[in-house]
């Protein structure tokens, strides 16, 4: 798979995401681990069955958050951008800064 397709709309590297890794390797123990960690982190119930994702910009299943709740992904889709790098407002975007303010790799991946 082409490396740049593993870069999510927000700049995160889906290739490093444990949800994606668990999905493509069919690792049920890792799905349970990720579900537990994400449940605690987000203070919502996330089940191992929800840990099903092939990547943000790749055809296939997405976690419920990535599929329909991620405001960054929805915005990019509405504006028809592959990633936020294609948006002239990315450097000052409040939504995107939820990721890029704390993740230098995501900023680099978007060229910000």
What pLDDT, in 10s, does the model give residues 66-76?
A: 998 999 999 99
Indicate if the pLDDT at residue 3 is higher than 60.
no
Percent of the chain with pLDDT over 70: 97
pLDDT value at residue 1: 44
The helix, strand and coil proportions of the chain, stated in percent and rounded to the nearest 5, come to: 60, 0, 40
Considering the chain, what is the average pLDDT of its residues?
93
| pTM to 2 decimal places | 0.85
Average pLDDT rounded to a whole number, residues 78-86: 94
User: Token pair of 71, please?
Assistant: 């405001």
Q: Please, how many CA atoms are within 13 Å of residue 8, restricted to the half-sphere of its CB?
A: 29
**Three-state secondary-structure class, residue 13:** strand
Residues with Cβ < 8 Å from 18, sequence gap 6 or more? 30, 33, 34
Specify the DSSP class assigned to residue 91. G
Indicate if the pLDDT at residue 83 is higher than 50.
yes
């Amino acid at each position: 798979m082409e490396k740049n397709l593993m870069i999510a709309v927000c700049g995160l590297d889906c290739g490093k995401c444990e949800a994606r890794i668990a999905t493509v390797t069919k690792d049920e123990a890792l799905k349970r681990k990720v579900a537990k960690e994400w449940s605690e982190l987000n203070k919502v119930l996330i089940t191992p069955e929800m840990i099903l994702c092939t990547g943000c910009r790749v055809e296939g299943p997405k976690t419920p958050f990535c599929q329909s709740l991620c405001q960054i992904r929805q915005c990019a889709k509405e504006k028809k951008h592959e990633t936020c790098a294609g948006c002239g407002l990315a450097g000052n975007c409040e939504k995107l800064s939820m990721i890029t303010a704390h993740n230098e790799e995501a900023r680099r991946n978007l060229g910000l």
